[in-house]
Structure 1
Amino acid sequence: MHFHRGDKDDKFLLNLYKRLLYPRMVEDKMLKLLRQGRIGKWFSGIGQEAIAVGSTLAMQSDEYILPMHRNLGVFTTRDIPLKKLMAQWQGKITGFTKGRDRSFHFGTQDYKIIGMISHLGPQMALADGIALADVLAERQRVTLVYTGEGATSEGDFHEAVNVAAVWDLPVIFLIENNGYGLSTPKAEQFRCKNLIDKAIGYGIEGVQVDGNNILEVYDTINRLATDLRKNPRPVLVECLTFRMRGHEEASGTKYVPQELFDEWEQKDPLSNYENYLLEQGILTADLILDLKFQIKRDLELEVEAAFEAPEPIANAALEEADMYFPHQPKIIEKGEASTEKRYLDAITDGLDLAMQKYPNLVLMGQDIADYGGAFKITDGFTSKYGKGRVRNTPICESAIVGAGLGLSINGYKAVVEMQFADFVTCGFNQIVNNLAKTHYRWGEKADVVVRMPTGAGTGAGPFHSQSNEAWFTKTPGLKIVYPAFPEDAKGLLLSAIEDPNPVLYFEHKYLYRSLMAPVPDGYYTTEIGKAVTLARGSKFSIITYGLGVHWALDYLKTHPEHEATLIDLRTLQPWDQDAVRDAVMATGRVLILHEDTLTNGFGAEISAWIGEHCFQYLDAPVLRCASLDTAIPMNKVLEEDFLAKSRLSETVDKLLKY
């Protein structure tokens, strides 16, 4: 292994050695603790430390790094106290996640480190969003994100690199190629000889380095970062290295040929660099002993202090509250003046006002820029706010949702449009595992709204008509709104954008141009979690939302003999239990109506809650009226039979016969 010091002085070279030695000694300590049964799990990065240490030192302290679970050197090089890290690994209350997550599954704004989730690739899209925020704010910064060679097979890798390439984002995508994804060798992971060959397909630069040579890693990342700060663009860096331990200690290493261990042991990053410094007279045997003694002494103190730290105390109320970033909305009342607007125009109006109020708000989605979106909701926005803030995206829902979270982490707000709510499946992981869990895990907000054009009635078939709100209402950490009227569409959208928590905003496509009503002028907000009572009667109650509200109104209009209470929930997470309870108490008979399929639709949750909390007020079983338990057909006759509306009258009759 050849080292080229360039213009680095002895002090710098010695500091590199200390930074390299420290995580190795931490690893040795962790392996001893594992054998002693004092810790339960460990992902070892022995043999790969030069990548984490060298690349981290090449970054500025205010630049974000997104590491993996074998990058201990990132955390130690950013000077996070071992006591704090140890508390995190042991699930202590003093850890970064308060015992809620393990390993390096956390982030910290204090050290500008954003950890991974177990699904690997998704953190690369977060890097895109972080870098985009820097570009928009005209900050000359670079974002560094790590991934393994195995994760380069994931769609998240492709999407994130492609977005960064198209948008010229200053991201260094660093691949740690250690030859194995758990036990699967690289020959079974990909066909290309070198992973930097993948850069060709994205039209970006690819650089391959010896990942065990700390000077080569440092010099390469430093050179690239310096250039990218002035000339923003992504670069793919492949660091060749080897994992000297198992994927985790329990996995073992029997699947790796012994000759590979023999070969890579000769390339050990620490011993090679140590020998180089000894040869150069920068390091002495006595100094090595002194350094190891000091580190070992400090390690013992830090580790034992972490073991003595308190365990979390179970508190269900606190756990539930911590699913969301604290937010006490100040409701902005609507004015008296109003204008007749279509449902669609009310959404446009809300977005327009939010863009004016929040200069850090970015809209992202397919075809939303000059084209104005599939439904023309953002038509004309690029001329007002520019393509920097109104961004056409490649067709990559996962990366764009992830980029939205990255924007939020770096001080921006994001509204992401799913061209159709059905397409959210392609971004599902980012929503339910990143957006929803980020605050609970490490206290960071996820200031992202995902717009969901939803619903049937237009003969669009199984892939453009689904009502999929129930996929998300069971996911803690998300808020779900579903307006039925233009006024609420505007007010709830503005509330969603003001809220620093992730909000899925369902907007019904059928209502876009078919529904017109007075919409208050100017900026106002509608409270999230508050239902509205549209009619009051004593015979029975209909609890519904979305298009179901209009089905119910039409039914009651044609059946004036049925004096019913009608509740429009407007919000499904959180939902207004008080309004539902009042309706049950007032009528004793309840029908829950929604467009979604019957089985496991959101109505099942409301029905269960009523049975559990309001049983004594019921005069009949709670009935649900929902769509068929099938996919949504395209043919108009079949679609009408599928929808709950076709069974509303008979369900009401059944309810009233009890």
Structure 2
Amino acid sequence: MNFDRKNLTEETLIDLYKRILKPRLIEEKMLILIRQGKVSKWFSGIGQEAISVGVTAVLDKDEYILPMHRNLGVFTGRDIPLYRLFSQWQGKANGFTKGRDRSFHFGTQQYKIIGMISHLGPQLGVADGIALGNKLKKNGKITAVFTGEGATSEGDFHEALNIASVWELPVMFVIENNGYGLSTPTNEQYRCENLADKGKGYGMESHIIDGNNILEIYNLLSELKISMIERPRPVLLEFKTFRMRGHEEASGTKYVPQELMDVWAAKDPVENYRNFLIENGIITDDFDTTLRSEIKKEIDENLAIANAEPEIEAILSEELNDVFQSFNPEVINPSEDAEKIRFIDAISNSLRQSMERHNNLVIMGQDVAEYGGAFKITDGFVAQFGKERVINTPICESAVVSAGMGLSINGYKAIVEMQFADFVSTGFNPIVNLLAKSHYRWLENADVVVRMPCGGGTQAGPFHSQTNEAWFTKTPGLKVVYPAFPYDAKGLLSASINDPNPVLFFEHKQLYRSVYQEVPKDYYTLPLGKAALLKKGNDVTIIAFGAAVHWALETLDKNSTISADLLDLRTLQPLDTEAIFASVKKTGKVIIYQEDSMFGGIASDISAMIMEECFKYLDAPVRRVASLDTPIPFTKALEDQYLPKGRFEKDLLTLLAY
């Protein structure tokens, strides 16, 4: 192995050795502990330390790094106290996740490290969002994100690199090509000769680097960093290395030919660098022996601290309270100065006034800039707020949602517009596994609102007409808002943007230009989690949301003798159970009206809750009215049959006659 020190000082050379030796010695200790059953699982990075160490050494401590589970050198390179790492791996309170996640599935703002989730790809989009935040701040900071050769097959890899290139984001995309994805060799993963060649498809500079040569890594990345600050852009870096242990220790390495193991063992990044330093008189054997002894002592002392720490106690209130970041919203009351506007205008007004109120708010989505969005809701926003804050995105929902998370990590608020709620399926993973779980896992909130134009009645067919709120009401960590009136839409959207937690904000397309209401001109908010009682009565409780509220009102107008409580939920998560139970206890009969198909919809959960909490008050079985359990069709006759509007009146009268 050829080490070229260039103009590096002896102090730097020795510092790099200390940095690369420490994770190796920790790993060797972990291998002992896992055999003793004191650590439950371990993903070894032995043989790959030079990459983590080199990248971390080049970046400033206030520059974000997004590592994976073989990048111990990132964490030690940021000088995290070892007892905290040991506590994390043992699931103890001094770790970073309160025992809720294992190994390196965590982040820490204190050390500017953002950990992975097992789905791998989304962290590449998160890096884009962090880098976008840096670019908006004009702070000259670089972001580095790690991935393996296996994850380059994921769509998130393509999406994130494409976004970074189009937006000229200063991101180092670090590919650790270590030969195997668990047991699958690279020749069964991709067909290009080098993964760095993929950079050409994105118009992106790329480099192939010896991932076992700490000096080659440090020197090249130091030069690249200076260049990326002067000319912000992404760079794709393929590090050729090898995984000397199994995917995790239990899997072993029997599937790897022994001759291949021998070849890479001879390229050991720690031992080769040590020999270079000794041969060039930069360190001595005695220095090395003393250094190893000091590091081992530090490891043992910190292990003792972690071992002495008590096991996690399960505290129910703490578990429930950490799902969301605590937030005491400022209630801003509406003014009396109002105008009669459409639902769509109320949404636009809220977005505009929120952009004026929050200088750190960014809107992202397909065609949202000059074109103003598919429904013209952001028309004129570029002229007022600039293209830095109103950003057209490529068609890549997953990476855009992940970028929203990255913006949040870097101190911004993000609004991501789905052109149609149906399209969220291609961004589903980062919503339910990243946004929803981050605060519970390591107390990092996701200040992201995902706008969801939804619903049928416009003959738009199976891919533009779904009302898919149930996909998200099931997921702890997400708030779901679904207004039916312009007044509510404006106040609830403003409140959702203020909320530091992830919110799915559903906007029924059929209501956009058909529903008018007097709406205050000035900025105001409405509390999430509070239903609206639109009508009062004693015979029956009607629970609805979205367009179904208007359909229910039409039915009641036709049947003036029906005395009904009509409850507009407005927010589905959190759900106003207090209002629901109070009404049901008063009327004794309840019908739940939703546009979504029946099975698995939120009406089913509300029905079950009522049966559990209000059974003795009921004078009839709880009734649900919903769309057919089919995809939503296109032709008007079929769509009319699909939607529940034509069945509600009959079911309501049947319930009243029970």
Same fold (TM over 0.5): yes
Structure 2 CA distance, aligned partners of 1:313 and 1:268?
42
Which residue identity does 1:642 align to in structure 2?
Y
- Is 1:122 the counterpart of 2:116? The answer is no
Q: Which residue of 2 aligns with 1:535?
A: 535
Q: Is the 8 A contact 1:94 1:310 kept in 2?
A: no
Structure 1 CA distance, aligned partners of 2:394 and 2:208?
27
Which residue identity does 1:627 align to in structure 2?
S
TM-score of the superposed pair, with normalisation by structure 2: 1.00
Which residue identity does 1:311 align to in structure 2?
E
Q: Which residue of 2 aligns with 1:109?
A: 109
Q: Which residue of 1 aligns with 2:490?
A: 490
* Matched residue SS, 1:4: coil
Which deviations, in whole Å up to 9, do the C-alpha atoms of 1:240-279 show, x marking residues without a partner? 0001000000011011111111100111000110010001
Give 1:292 shift: 1.1
Which deviations, in whole Å up to 9, do the C-alpha atoms of 1:531-583 show, x marking residues without a partner? 01000011101001000100010000010011111000000000101110111
Give 1:654 shift: 1.7
Q: Which residue of 2 aligns with 1:334?
A: 334
Q: Which residue of 2 aligns with 1:398?
A: 398
Q: Which residue of 1 aligns with 2:5?
A: 5
Give 1:423 shift: 0.3
Alignment map for 1:69-218 (pairs within 5 Å): 69-218=69-218
Alignment map for 1:373-392 (pairs within 5 Å): 373-392=373-392
Q: Is the 8 A contact 1:593 1:626 kept in 2?
A: yes
Which deviations, in whole Å up to 9, do the C-alpha atoms of 1:173-195 show, x marking residues without a partner? 00000011000000010000000
Give 1:307 shift: 1.4
Structure 2 CA distance, aligned partners of 1:321 and 1:41?
28
Give 1:288 shift: 1.1
Q: Please, which moves more after superposition, 311-320 or 212-221?
A: 311-320
Q: Which runs of 4+ in 1 moved over 2 A?
A: none
Give 1:457 shift: 0.4
* Matched residue SS, 1:583: helix
| Aligned-residue identity in percent | 61
Structure 1 CA distance, aligned partners of 2:474 and 2:654?
29
Structure 2 CA distance, aligned partners of 1:70 and 1:58?
18
In structure 1, list runs of 5 or more residues that go unmatched. none
Q: Is the 8 A contact 1:213 1:269 kept in 2?
A: yes
Which residue identity does 1:286 align to in structure 2?
D
Q: Please, which moves more after superposition, 215-224 or 273-282?
A: 215-224
Which deviations, in whole Å up to 9, do the C-alpha atoms of 1:423-481 show, x marking residues without a partner? 00000000000000010011111000000000000000000001100000010110000
Q: Which residue of 1 aligns with 2:464?
A: 464
Which residue identity does 2:348 align to in structure 1?
T
Q: Which residue of 1 aligns with 2:33?
A: 33
Structure 2 CA distance, aligned partners of 1:95 and 1:255?
34
Which deviations, in whole Å up to 9, do the C-alpha atoms of 1:484-517 show, x marking residues without a partner? 0000110000000000000000000000011111
Which deviations, in whole Å up to 9, do the C-alpha atoms of 1:27-52 show, x marking residues without a partner? 00000011112112110000000000
Q: Which residue of 1 aligns with 2:455?
A: 455
Give 1:310 shift: 2.0
Which residue identity does 2:154 align to in structure 1?
E
* Matched residue SS, 1:541: strand
Which residue identity does 2:208 align to in structure 1?
Q
* Matched residue SS, 1:387: coil
Q: Which residue of 2 aligns with 1:619?
A: 619
Q: Please, which moves more after superposition, 648-657 or 268-277?
A: 648-657
Structure 1 CA distance, aligned partners of 2:585 and 2:330?
30
Give 1:76 shift: 0.3
CA RMSD between the two structures:
0.6
Which deviations, in whole Å up to 9, do the C-alpha atoms of 1:603-655 show, x marking residues without a partner? 00100000000111110000001110000000001101111111101111221
* Matched residue SS, 1:206: strand
Q: Which residue of 2 aligns with 1:254?
A: 254
Structure 2 CA distance, aligned partners of 1:39 and 1:446?
30
Alignment map for 1:298-309 (pairs within 5 Å): 298-309=298-309
Structure 2 CA distance, aligned partners of 1:505 and 1:411?
21
Which deviations, in whole Å up to 9, do the C-alpha atoms of 1:370-428 show, x marking residues without a partner? 01000000011101111110000000000000000000000000000000000000000
Structure 2 CA distance, aligned partners of 1:168 and 1:477?
32
Q: Which residue of 1 aligns with 2:632?
A: 632
Which residue identity does 1:412 align to in structure 2?
Y
* Matched residue SS, 2:388: helix
* Matched residue SS, 1:107: coil
* Matched residue SS, 1:169: coil
Structure 2 CA distance, aligned partners of 1:463 and 1:558?
33
Structure 2 CA distance, aligned partners of 1:612 and 1:307?
44
Give 1:117 shift: 0.3
* Matched residue SS, 2:543: strand
Structure 2 CA distance, aligned partners of 1:9 and 1:171?
27
Q: Which residue of 2 aligns with 1:653?
A: 653
Q: Is the 8 A contact 1:591 1:622 kept in 2?
A: yes
Give 1:138 shift: 0.9
Structure 1 CA distance, aligned partners of 2:652 and 2:580?
18
Structure 1 CA distance, aligned partners of 2:544 and 2:316?
30
Q: Which residue of 2 aligns with 1:418?
A: 418
In structure 2, list runs of 5 or more residues that go unmatched. none
Which residue identity does 2:477 align to in structure 1?
G
Which residue identity does 1:360 align to in structure 2?
N
Q: Which residue of 1 aligns with 2:369?
A: 369
Q: Which residue of 2 aligns with 1:502?
A: 502
* Matched residue SS, 2:619: coil
Which deviations, in whole Å up to 9, do the C-alpha atoms of 1:98-149 show, x marking residues without a partner? 1000011111011000000001111000000000001011110000000000
* Matched residue SS, 1:290: helix
Q: Please, which moves more after superposition, 287-296 or 470-479?
A: 287-296
Structure 1 CA distance, aligned partners of 2:9 and 2:318?
52
Q: Is the 8 A contact 1:177 1:241 kept in 2?
A: yes
Which deviations, in whole Å up to 9, do the C-alpha atoms of 1:155-189 show, x marking residues without a partner? 00000000000000000000000011000000010
Structure 2 CA distance, aligned partners of 1:314 and 1:571?
30
Q: Which residue of 2 aligns with 1:239?
A: 239
Give 1:316 shift: 1.6
Which residue identity does 2:86 align to in structure 1?
M
* Matched residue SS, 1:625: strand
Which residue identity does 1:347 align to in structure 2?
I
Which residue identity does 2:448 align to in structure 1?
V
Give 1:56 shift: 0.5
Give 1:342 shift: 0.5
Q: Which residue of 2 aligns with 1:555?
A: 555
Structure 2 CA distance, aligned partners of 1:194 and 1:158?
15
Q: Which residue of 1 aligns with 2:476?
A: 476
* Matched residue SS, 2:44: coil
* Matched residue SS, 1:533: strand
TM-score of the superposed pair, with normalisation by structure 1: 1.00
Q: Which residue of 1 aligns with 2:577?
A: 577
Q: Is the 8 A contact 1:105 1:117 kept in 2?
A: yes
Give 1:227 shift: 1.1
Structure 1 CA distance, aligned partners of 2:240 and 2:576?
55
Structure 1 CA distance, aligned partners of 2:121 and 2:581?
44
